[in-house]
Amino acid sequence: MDFKTFETRIGYSFKNGNLLEQAFTHRSYLNENRAPGREHNERLEFLGDAVLELVVTEFLYGKYPDKPEGDLTSYRAALVNTVSISDAATKLGMNEYLLLSRGEARDTGRARAIILANAFEALIGALYLDDGYEEAKKFIAAQLFHKTDEVVAKGLWQDSKSRFQEIAQEKEGITPSYDVVSQTGPDHDKNFLVGVYIGSTRIATGEGRSKQEAEQKAAEKALATKRW
């Protein structure tokens, strides 16, 4: 795999090219492509996750000097969650460079988003090891900091259930309610279908392995349904 085009894209040339390749190497790839000294990206991901959290924390602490700890924590969570960083990875074209097994290469949707998010964090870890904190910080700033104003202005830092409740109370004067429509599966592997209601009107349903997860999914769909 030739990573020169990608290095040009991010404006950084690695001194140790093995670190960059490792950042893109999924564990499954090594099962089909064993080679001495080759490593998957999980250790780099562990390191990159810590660097990412510190960089974003430092940025938010300076940007919002009057915000309490709770709000800053929520803003950070919205900036570094799987959806946000997998979106950043997709825009960088990281999908083209992933080293995956044939089975993993066929995955799409949520599974691929997780792989991309992990690779994004591993890339941060690789940058940190190759050239230190400032280079990793420069990369994170370029890819994520611009999202902050939208996250705060649109309330994207709130979970879906909280957002739906806040907007429903503002627009309809009613607090949404949730009810289990059905549940299937054995006790150790339940699947819940939950409806979210404004008054007696069901707005949407959501599925999950727990009632809480199903409620969040229902609220997420309800926000889309109401175009809120």
- Catalytic residue list: 49, 121
Per-residue tokens: 147: 């999202």
Phi, psi (degrees; rounded to nearest 5) at 25: -90, 110
Does the annotation list 118 as a binding residue?
yes
Does the annotation list 121 as a binding residue?
yes
Per-residue tokens: 151: 């996250």
Q: Which residues of 173-206 are buried (b: 16+ CB within 10 A; e: fewer)?
A: eeebebeeeeeeeeeeeeebbbbbbbeeeebbbb
Does the annotation list 45 as a binding residue?
yes
Per-residue tokens: 164: 């739906």
Radius of gyration of the chain (CA): 21
CA distances, 195 to each of 144, 177, 205, 208 (Å): 34, 8, 4, 12
SS3 at position 35: coil
Binding positions for Mg(2+) are: 45, 118, 121
Binding positions are: 45, 118, 121
